[in-house]
Amino acid sequence: MKNSTPLYASWRHAFKLDPNKELSDEALEAICESGSDGILIGGTDGITYENVTELLGRVRSYAIPCIQEVSRLDAVVPGFDHYFIPLVVNAGRAEWLLQPHMEAIKQYGRLIPWHELTVEGYVVLNPDSKVGRLTASVQPNSIDDLFVYTTLTDRLLQLPILYLEYSGIYGDPSWIEQVQRRTTHSHLFYGGGIGNQEQAQVMSERADTIVVGNLIYEDWRRALETVPQQPSSI
Ligand code: 1GP
């Protein structure tokens, strides 16, 4: 498994599905058949083994790859293509930094399939989001403040993924662009507030992968428009 190309390396677009939210079969089918590169399943509130299992089962009717973004140890479900393990690098509470990860190793260390996991260096940039409140994320006041977290992730820790998480609000494209220019090692994910095709395009030019979440639940037909169009083969 060493040195193999990670599943997400070629992803330009992903949808994030929340097991704690309702989605009709029609919408789920459209999302899974949209041409997006992958599905992430994750969330902050109300995530259970049961609702993750149910949603994975529904997504498995389609060919699209599916990754679990793990937020609770008791809701890790076997059968995903891969697992993302967030590490909130700007968490204001020490217990949200590495404590859950150490607890997981203590409980399940020998059973963890390490080659199926990738750590995401998460910089939480909406303090009012659920994850922002839960982790008491420390907000950068300037681009130089932001570089501290992104450089920590990209250079010092050399994490495979740097995830700029604006969850619920649309970030400043000039900040994303500046982070992109300085990122040398990590695969750059952007997520937050993408509400239409234009906003998706702007962030696609500045990040390796964009993630669309809330819009699926607000207006799934519009969410489909955020998927980049494949050039016609004819
Ligand atoms: C959330 O980054 C994702 O974890 C996507 O954000 O829900 O705001 O689209 P939105």
Give 141-194 pLDDT, tens digit per residue: 999 999 999 999 999 999 999 999 999 999 999 999 999 999 999 999 999 999
Ranges of each domain in the chain: 9-224
pLDDT higher than threshold 90 for residue 73: no
Report how far ligand 1's centroid is from the alpha carbon of 105 (Å): 28
In this predicted model, which residue has the larger pLDDT, 27 or 97? Answer: 27
* 230 has pLDDT over 90: no
Which ligand 1 atom minimizes the distance to the CA of 211?
A: 5
Confidence check: pLDDT of 57 > 70: yes
Query: Phi/psi zone of residue 159: left (φ > 0), alpha (ψ -120 to 50 degrees), beta?
Result: beta
Distance, CA 18 to ligand 1 centroid (Å)?
10
- State the distance from the centre of ligand 1 to the C-alpha of 216, rounded, in angstroms: 10
Q: Provide the CATH topology of domain 9-224.
A: TIM Barrel (3.20.20)
pLDDT more than 70, % of the chain: 97
Atom of ligand 1 nearest to the CA of 212: 9
What stretches of 109-164 show up as alpha helix (H) in DSSP? 130-134, 143-151
As a whole number, mean pLDDT of residues 223-228 equals: 97
Estimate the share of the chain in helix, then strand, then coil, as percent rounded to the nearest 5. 40, 20, 45
The average confidence (pLDDT) of the chain is: 94
Q: Report the nearest atom of ligand 1 relative to the CA of 131.
A: 4
Residues 171, 193 contacting (CB under 8 angstroms): yes
Task: Report the pLDDT averaged over residues 57-64.
Answer: 98
Residue 33 sits at φ, ψ, to 5 deg, of -100, 15
Q: Please compute the mean of the pLDDT values over residues 8-27 and round it to a whole number.
A: 98
Across the range 66-84, mean pLDDT stands at 94
* Statement: residue 232 has pLDDT above 80: no
Tell me the CA–centroid distance for residue 2 and ligand 1, in Å. Answer: 30
Residue nearest to atom 3 of ligand 1 (CA): 191
Q: CB within 8 A of 144, min separation 6: which ones? A: none
Residue of 13, 16, 202 best suited for mutating to test ligand 1, as the one with most atoms within 8 Å of CB:
16
